[in-house]
Chains A and B, each alone.
Chain A
Amino acid sequence: MLPWFKNNSRYPLLFALPALTIYLTFTIVPTVLGVGFAFTDWNAYRSDINFVGLKNFREVLSPDELYLFYLKNTLIFTIATIFFKTVFALAFALLLNGTIKRFVNLYRIMIFLPAILPTLIVALVFKSILHPSEGILNLGLDAVGLGFLAQKWLVDPSIALYSIIGVDTWKGVGYIMVILLAGLQSIPKDYYEAAEIDGANAWQRLRFVTIPMLMPALAVVTVLNVIYGLRVFDMVFALTNGGPGFATEVVYTVIFKAFSQGQYGLGTALSTVLLVILLIVGVFVVRLLDRSPNR
């Protein structure tokens, strides 16, 4: 018998075995194999697989190729959505945490609603809302005399990525708001009273009481957003599919294209680059989510 089975008959690891087996088979094995296959010329349409050393990585990280540009798009998406979601979510959370008493639940339900809708569906609806000539956003702007603000939201390569960021912010802000709201409610009231007695104004109370006390919640929100942002797919795929041209291509849409074209070796290399980035983030996740008292 393995020692940990023998040592603990009351809490045998046998209980963790089914979960562990499924996790190993469908998550860990593909991940580890992927690192190995990233050094090969694996192609879906050929039967032989040859070791090619760093060739795939050189291609992915080469300044002559577009992969670094796709990586840059992914990072812009991630950072911008974190920023906008957090700022708006904090504003909403502050709004619903203090001044307003009536209808506060109704407001919260409404603002959170988009967060539970399937991303694909949200993207399809917004594709129509953002249509340059027939979409209600441009028609609405025209109707209220703000027609000069109308844009070719998803068609103009220079702003398409930002339009996607906008839609994603709309969808995700409620989720972040709810986490920040819970964080706000855990701040003791005395802190604000003490600050007020010391003569702190509203801005100073926000700056020196709310924000510092909200740090754990902000950290969790940031990490969750990084994990989401680096792996974004549905939103981009359904809104622009990486277009116009390749202006809004991100890592996961490029991986899907490599998959469709059978370029498995190159795709695995791209996945591996993303894996390294996420593992670094993963270390932070583990630190943050570590609930045990003896850390």
Chain B
Amino acid sequence: MIKSSRTRLGFAHLAAITASLIMFTPVYLVIVNSLKTRAEASTLSASLPAVPQFGNFATVIEKGNLVEGFLNSLIYSSISTIFATLLAAMAAFVLSRHRSRFNRFLYFFLIMGIALPVNFFTLTWVLQALELINTRGGMIFLYTAMNIPFSIFLIYGFVETIPTELDEAATMDGCGTFRVFFLIVLPLLTPVLVTAGILNFLGVWSDFLYPLYYLNDSGKWPMTLSIYNFFGRFSSEWNLVSANILLNITPVVIIYLLGQRFILGGMTSGAVKG
């Protein structure tokens, strides 16, 4: 009996290790190839480099307009994340606290955006009318709009867990809605704001679609689009492409490892409401 359960445990670990290795292989390939010479990395092979070529990173930073792309990605991700998370929190607060028929309709109307497909043609028209086409400001607005529905959904559920007595006490003490929200409620929403913030940031950092449609000017491209373009020009130089990719995914992996608890919490919140 003991022996058979040990064997089972062994098989379970073997399966888990195999799965982990399969999931990690592409990242491993990117890491080793980013350190190879051009000849060694003509294909994306698994062998280790003879001598690690750290100079590849300097080369891609120079050749691939990487600093520019990195800064653009950072601008789009961080500013739209702040806007989307804050505006969603304000909306979720009043919609969750005061559940009139109209407010419930408004909540569903807003979270319906999770499923709506983008109409890129008429969106062009809207962006042109607002003079936002091919601008950084336009990107920030688009990403804010993209992230508002899911953020409202996440935060709405969390607002319920904050006792309304707090609002009442603060109102008695003479606080207006603005102060109640910003001084009392918003600090208590921190955990869900971090979750929404991380998910929004990662979503925008990974996005490729809006810049592909709406940014002609390569100086405004985020990293994803620069890498795609770089891949087109240097597709057989996997050392450079890998170095480029590694620089793009490093911030994502760091955020993932530090913010795991929040990411997983947010992703699962819809699933376990029972």
Do B44 and A129 touch (CB < 8 A)?
yes
Do A178 and B264 touch (CB < 8 A)?
yes
CB within 8 Å of B: which A200-245 residues: 216-217, 220-221, 227, 230-231, 233-234, 238
Task: Point out the residues of chain A lying under 8 angstroms from B97, CB to CB.
Answer: 10-11
Number of A interface residues in the complex (CB < 8 A): 98
Do B271 and A124 touch (CB < 8 A)?
no
Assuming the contacts A10-B171, A103-B16, A221-B271, asked whether A15 and B177 have C-beta atoms less than 8 A apart, the reply is yes
Check if A53 is an interface residue, CB within 8 A of chain B: no
Assuming the contacts A118-B205, A120-B208, A216-B273, asked whether A255 and B120 have C-beta atoms less than 8 A apart, the reply is yes
Assuming the contacts A31-B116, A110-B23, asked whether A11 and B94 have C-beta atoms less than 8 A apart, the reply is yes
Do A42 and B121 touch (CB < 8 A)?
yes
Do B87 and A122 touch (CB < 8 A)?
no
Task: Point out the residues of chain A lying under 8 angstroms from B156, CB to CB.
Answer: 291
Which chain B residue shows the least CB distance to A260? B213
CB within 8 Å of B: which A93-125 residues: 95-96, 99-100, 103, 106-107, 109-114, 116-122, 124-125
Do B43 and A95 touch (CB < 8 A)?
no
Do B43 and A134 touch (CB < 8 A)?
yes
Which of A26, A113, A129 neighbours the largest number of chain B CB atoms within 10 Å of its CB? A26
CA distance A125 to B235 in the complex (A): 11
Which chain A residue shows the least CB distance to B115? A282
CA distance A288 to B245 in the complex (A): 37
Q: Which among B54-62, B63-71, B140-148, B188-196 touches the partner chain?
A: B140-148
Check if B270 is an interface residue, CB within 8 A of chain A: yes
Question: Chain A 128-155 against B: per-residue CB contact (8 Å), 1 yes, 0 no?
Answer: 1101001110010000000000000000
Assuming the contacts A11-B93, A118-B248, A179-B271, asked whether A129 and B253 have C-beta atoms less than 8 A apart, the reply is no
Q: Which among A61-69, A78-86, A267-275 touches the partner chain?
A: A267-275
CA distance A25 to B144 in the complex (A): 11
Partner of A264, one of B113, B121, B126, B160: B121
Do B111 and A286 touch (CB < 8 A)?
yes
Check if A259 is an interface residue, CB within 8 A of chain B: yes
Do B119 and A271 touch (CB < 8 A)?
yes
Task: Point out the residues of chain A lying under 8 angstroms from B249, CB to CB.
Answer: 117-118, 121
Task: Point out the residues of chain B lying under 8 angstroms from A121, CB to CB.
Answer: 224, 227, 245, 248-249
Do A128 and B224 touch (CB < 8 A)?
no
Do A271 and B45 touch (CB < 8 A)?
no
Assuming the contacts A15-B177, A110-B20, A186-B274, asked whether A234 and B123 have C-beta atoms less than 8 A apart, the reply is no
Check if A22 is an interface residue, CB within 8 A of chain B: yes
CA distance A9 to B171 in the complex (A): 11
Question: Chain B 1-42 against A: per-residue CB contact (8 Å), 1 yes, 0 no?
Answer: 000000011001101110110111011011000000000001
Number of B interface residues in the complex (CB < 8 A): 101
CA distance A107 to B24 in the complex (A): 11
CB within 8 Å of B: which A148-206 residues: 170, 174-175, 178-183, 185-186
Q: Does more than half of chain B's interface fall in helix, strand or loop, or is it mixed?
A: helix
CB within 8 Å of B: which A266-295 residues: 267-268, 271-272, 274-275, 278-279, 281-282, 285-286, 288-292
Which chain A residue shows the least CB distance to B149? A23
Do B271 and A122 touch (CB < 8 A)?
no
Which chain B residue shows the least CB distance to A114? B23
CB within 8 Å of A: which B238-274 residues: 238, 241, 245, 248-249, 252-253, 256-257, 260, 263-264, 267-268, 270-274
Partner of B94, one of A15, A111, A175: A15
CB within 8 Å of A: which B123-181 residues: 123, 125-126, 130, 141-142, 144-145, 148-149, 152-153, 156-157, 160, 167, 171, 177, 180-181
Assuming the contacts A19-B87, A33-B119, A282-B116, asked whether A111 and B19 have C-beta atoms less than 8 A apart, the reply is yes
Which chain B residue shows the least CB distance to A33? B122
Do A19 and B152 touch (CB < 8 A)?
yes
Chain B interfacial positions (CB closer than 8 Å to A): 8-9, 12-13, 15-17, 19-20, 22-24, 26-27, 29-30, 42-46, 83, 87-88, 90-91, 93-95, 97-100, 102-104, 106, 108, 110-123, 125-126, 130, 141-142, 144-145, 148-149, 152-153, 156-157, 160, 167, 171, 177, 180-181, 202, 205-206, 208-209, 212-213, 224, 227-228, 231, 238, 241, 245, 248-249, 252-253, 256-257, 260, 263-264, 267-268, 270-274
Selected A-B contacts with CB under 8 Å, 26 pairs: A9-B177, A12-B94, A19-B152, A23-B145, A23-B148, A27-B116, A27-B118, A30-B123, A33-B126, A37-B122, A103-B16, A111-B19, A116-B252, A134-B42, A170-B22, A174-B23, A179-B267, A179-B268, A181-B268, A216-B273, A227-B115, A256-B213, A274-B117, A279-B116, A282-B116, A285-B115
